[in-house]
Amino acid sequence: MSSHLVRNPGIPLDLEWVGRTRVNLPAVKRRADTLKTRRSVKKQWQAAWLLRAVTCIDLTTLSGDDTATNVSRLCFKAQNPVRKDLLESMGMADKGITTGAICVYPSRVPDAVKTLENLNSKVPIASVAAGFPAGQTPLKQRLEEIETAVASGATEIDIVISRAFVLEGNWEALYNEVQAMRKACEEAHLKTIIATGELGSLTNVYKASLVSMMAGSDFIKTSTGKESVNATFPVALVMVRAVRDYYQQTGHKVGFKPAGGIRSAKDALTWLSLMKEELGDDWTHPDLFRIGASSLLGDIERQLFHFVTGSYITYMIYNVTVYFDPKAVMSNLDQDNPVKLTDVVFSIVAFACTTTQGIQCLMYDRGSQEIHRSTIAICAGCLLALVVLTVLSLFGILGSWFVVLQYCGYVKFIVSFGTYSPQVWLNFKRKSTEGFHIGGVLLDFGGGVLSLLQMDLYCFIEHSNNQLTGNIPKMALAVSTLLFNIILIWQHYVFYLGNEHRSSDSEKEPLLRGERSNEFYTVNVHAEDGDYIVISFQDSEEESTTQRAAGSQESLV
């Protein structure tokens, strides 16, 4: 933690404050539900926010087989959590990005100190102590464990409380226990693990959080990561409201750390958004916010890689590669290249347009719509096949990259069936095209005709049929597009012309059935939005505009 952070000195135990607290369960549930269904960080700022999330991670190894080597690797990763080339691509290579801390058992603290000193690193060293994870050892022994960790060089101590004190309502005993542990920490910061999954109720979670802060905890933490229930949004809301109430009453800032069950970059963004909304910008920095999820770092790094490199559509890979390296598919370089500049431009523009649509699908409300399992399976199968073909080409089994590149082109041809088939089937089932916009189909039809015409013209100019036989994916795509377009045009202007759709229950059925085919969802557009918060991040760092509806600040406790 930063040296400028003023520690929480604690306050005398206020049993009257603790006793009058009750949690508003319906309000907590409503607020928690909004966190699961909305995107809170604009796409263009996600990379910056993911880097912020990296700086808030407590990189942890707490295994029975931990060795000095394991701990050293952990320290190296904490000092260099993101690949250097990715940071350079984002202009962040000189920003000194590290994780928030490393966390090890007390016996491994000396190993961490030695490695970090060799790296000239200032990454804080946290250690779990005080009978982690159950907290069932005698208090004297737990205090000695804390003192040992601090003496070895730990700058943060993650302690566990005696859950029995909470379940019995013995708040004075809990206060005294945490206060004794804070004293044992000396200058090291105290992070108190509430173990929310074992406290019985959200009211107990709030009271345990409040008492721990009164006793001088610098951080409160949801769980050890070993319980059956770890960090959840309802629990987090109750705890951060306790942090906010304590700050408003005393002026002392206390940090918050969710731990357990946070595995994806999307989860990290949601937790950062929650902290910003509930507590403010100060709680989006490692001084006051940490994430206990070591596996999260790998997913964040993958998402940063996608942000920097983008994901290339297979058809674009085919066109770009063959255009700039025709020998990849042509044995006779005297022949004219079957892929022209117009093909490259088309695939790039198409990729940009579909990417924009994909981002809109992710950003905007989708209601109950989900990606069907068959779609996921087909995409996964196509990707797996590409990987297999690539590996075979790398080892020379296929002889050349021709098959791989042709496959990339054919994938687009296959995907076109999935693009058009659902609409053809829906029109047939409804015996109507009411509500269907024919404009896009007419444009596609025109493009397909012109594409075939272009190929014929090149064949005439070059006195070769290489345009037809050398660029099979393009020809197949043009033909399939034309066939589907003709079907849709005939449905619209001939078969079902003037037919009005008859409303029926089938209107609510998904085009492809899945496990949720019998679940219907409706949206009342006139409903009050008082339980929702819309947050728009204006830049990657501090500025934000938060629009809060009237009911978004309803009391949770």
> 95 to each of 84, 87, 299, 539, how far by Cα in Å?
11, 9, 21, 18
Nearest one of 389, 379, 407 to 321, comparing CA atoms? 407
Length of the chain (residues): 557
Q: Which two tokens stand for residue 520?
A: 């219907």
Q: How far apart are CA 492 and CA 486, in angstroms?
A: 10
Whose tokens are 């370089």? That residue is: 333
Q: Which two tokens stand for residue 374?
A: 């068959």
Whose tokens are 């005939």? That residue is: 490
Quick one: 203 exposed, middle or buried, by C-beta within 10 A (0-12, 13-18, 19+)?
Answer: middle
Give the SS3 label for residue 75. Answer: helix
Give the SS3 label for residue 437. Answer: coil
Residue by residue, DSSP assigns 333-370 as TTSPPSS-HHHHHHHHHHHHHHHHHHHHHHHS--TT--
What are residue 362's phi and psi, to 5 degrees?
-75, -35
Whose tokens are 């209107």? That residue is: 507
Whose tokens are 């009911």? That residue is: 551
> 129: which strand partners?
159
Q: Cis bond leading into 510, ω under 30°?
A: no
Give the SS3 label for residue 50. Answer: helix
Active centre residues (catalytic): 158, 221, 257
Return the number of other C-beta atoms located less than 10 Å from residue 361's C-beta: 11
Instruction: With beta carbons less than 8 A apart as the criterion, state whether 440 and 426 touch.
Output: no
Name residue 474's amino acid.
Answer: K
Instruction: With beta carbons less than 8 A apart as the criterion, state whether 485 and 441 touch.
Output: yes
Rg (CA), the chain: 30
Nearest one of 121, 112, 117, 106 to 157, comparing CA atoms? 106
Cα angle vertex 495, ends 489, 499, to 5°? 105
Nearest one of 147, 149, 160 to 192, comparing CA atoms? 160
